[in-house]
Amino acid sequence: MSDAQSIYGTIEGFTRGQVFLASTDDFAAARAVLAGIPFDATTSFRPGTRWGPRAIREVSEVLEEYSPYLRRELGQVPFYDAGDLDLTPGRVEAGLEQMAAAAAAIFTAGKQPFFLGGEHLVSYPLIRAAHRYYPELAVLHFDAHADLREEYLGERLSHATVMRLVAEEIGPGNLYQFGIRSGTWGEFAYGQGETNFFLDVITSPLTKLVPELGRRPLYVTIDIDIIDPAYAPGTGTPEPGGCSPGEIFKAIQLLQDANVVAFDLVEVCPAYDQSAITAILAAKILREALLAWGGKNI
Q: Could you give the C-alpha distances from 35 to 30, 43, 117, in angstroms and in order?
A: 13, 20, 9
Asked if residue 50 has pLDDT above 60, the reply is yes
In DSSP notation, 24-42 reads BS-TTT-SEEEEEE---TT
The alpha carbon of residue 64 and the mean position of all alpha carbons in its chain are separated, in whole angstroms, by 22
What's the rounded mean pLDDT across residues 248-272? Answer: 98
Residue 6's pLDDT is 39
Total of domains in the chain: 1
Asked if residue 248 has pLDDT above 60, the reply is yes
Beta strands in the chain (DSSP E): 14-15, 32-37, 66-67, 72-73, 79-85, 112-117, 138-142, 175-180, 196-199, 218-223, 260-266
- Per-residue pLDDT band for 280 (boundaries 50, 70, 90) equals very high
Q: What is the CA radius of gyration of the chain?
A: 17
What's the rounded mean pLDDT across residues 153-157? Answer: 91
What's the rounded mean pLDDT across residues 190-206? Answer: 97
Residue 164's pLDDT is 98
Task: Say if 124 falls within a structural domain.
Answer: yes
Residue 4's pLDDT is 43
Asked if residue 298 has pLDDT above 80, the reply is no
Asked if residue 104 has pLDDT above 50, the reply is yes
Asked if residue 1 has pLDDT above 60, the reply is no
Task: Say if 8 falls within a structural domain.
Answer: no
Task: Say if 26 falls within a structural domain.
Answer: yes
Task: Say if 185 falls within a structural domain.
Answer: yes
Residue 5's pLDDT is 44
By the 8 A CB rule, do 237 and 145 touch?
A: yes
Instruction: Say which amino acid occupies 212.
Output: E
Parent domain of 80: 14-293
Task: Say if 132 falls within a structural domain.
Answer: yes
Task: Say if 6 falls within a structural domain.
Answer: no
Residue 10's pLDDT is 59
- Per-residue pLDDT band for 89 (boundaries 50, 70, 90) equals confident
- Per-residue pLDDT band for 3 (boundaries 50, 70, 90) equals very low
**pLDDT tens column, 15-44:** 999 999 999 999 999 999 999 999 998 888
What's the rounded mean pLDDT across residues 158-181? Answer: 97
Asked if residue 8 has pLDDT above 70, the reply is no
Asked if residue 172 has pLDDT above 50, the reply is yes
Residue 296's pLDDT is 79
CATH number of the domain to which 155 belongs: 3.40.800.10
Residue 12's pLDDT is 84
Q: What percent of the chain has pLDDT over 70?
A: 96
Residue 44's pLDDT is 85
Average of per-residue pLDDT values in the chain: 94
Task: Say if 48 falls within a structural domain.
Answer: yes
Asked if residue 51 has pLDDT above 80, the reply is yes
Task: Say if 52 falls within a structural domain.
Answer: yes
Q: Is the pTM of this model over 0.85?
A: yes
